[in-house]
């Protein structure tokens, strides 16, 4: 909750990836509140009042996962909406005359985006969704201590650069 609020306000792409991590954890512990309490909530060095707020936040997320029937996989609807907003902004920036930086970052990322679409058998995915999926996958590989090739890391860096710029533009737009 605390980290999510910070990320939401500072970097919307990091927020999306963070929420996906939370979804992964909730699924991993089979939505067991006691396990969440032990693994996450008790690790916070804060008051019991704040810990209760955090616990309630996790309970709300569990309820939402079940309501949206995404217990096995998938994103919250509010995350899908943010990704759609980011994609719309991305497309607007690509058409904008004053968006040289974004266009240049996209030019570097585009071949990697196309390659990732092929590898994931999802040619219909939008650019932002592909980049976020790739960055989330990279995080999961790192957590599993998997070897990551230099070529993959270079591709991920193009996604990261593009998404960082997009998050910056999104924050500017929302300010």
pLDDT for the residue numbered 59: 96
Q: Does the pLDDT at position 44 exceed 90?
A: no
Average pLDDT over residues 74-84: 96
Q: What is the pTM of this model?
A: 0.92
CA distance linking residue 122 with residue 23, whole number of Å: 21
- Smallest CA-to-CA distance from 80 within 111, 116, 121, 125 is with 125
Indicate the pLDDT class of residue 87, thresholds 50, 70 and 90: very high
- Smallest CA-to-CA distance from 27 within 5, 55, 58 is with 58
Q: Does the pLDDT at position 1 exceed 70?
A: no
pLDDT for the residue numbered 171: 96
pLDDT for the residue numbered 120: 85
Indicate the pLDDT class of residue 98, thresholds 50, 70 and 90: confident
- Smallest CA-to-CA distance from 82 within 15, 26, 139, 140 is with 15
CA distance linking residue 63 with residue 80, whole number of Å: 18
Distance of CA 137 to the CA centre of its chain: 10
pLDDT for the residue numbered 91: 97
Indicate the pLDDT class of residue 154, thresholds 50, 70 and 90: very high
3-state secondary structure at position 171: helix
Q: What DSSP state is assigned to residue 43?
A: G
């Amino acid at each position: 909750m605390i980290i999510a609020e910070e990320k939401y306000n500072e970097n919307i792409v990091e927020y999306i990836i963070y929420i996906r991590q939370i979804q992964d954890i909730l699924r991993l512990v089979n939505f067991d509140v006691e396990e969440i309490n032990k693994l996450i909530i008790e690790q916070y060095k804060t008051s019991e009042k704040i810990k209760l707020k955090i616990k309630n936040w996790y309970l709300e997320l569990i309820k939402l996962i079940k309501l949206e029937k995404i217990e096995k996989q998938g994103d919250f609807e509010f995350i899908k909406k943010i990704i759609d907003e980011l994609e719309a902004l991305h497309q607007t920036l690509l058409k904008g005359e004053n968006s040289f930086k974004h266009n240049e970052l996209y030019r570097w990322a585009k071949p990697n985006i196309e390659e990732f679409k092929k590898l994931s058998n999802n040619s219909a995915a939008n650019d932002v969704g592909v980049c976020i999926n790739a960055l989330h996958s990279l995080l999961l590989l790192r957590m599993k201590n998997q070897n990551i090739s230099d070529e993959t890391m270079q591709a991920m860096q193009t996604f990261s650069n593009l998404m960082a710029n997009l998050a910056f533009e999104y924050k500017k737009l929302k300010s």
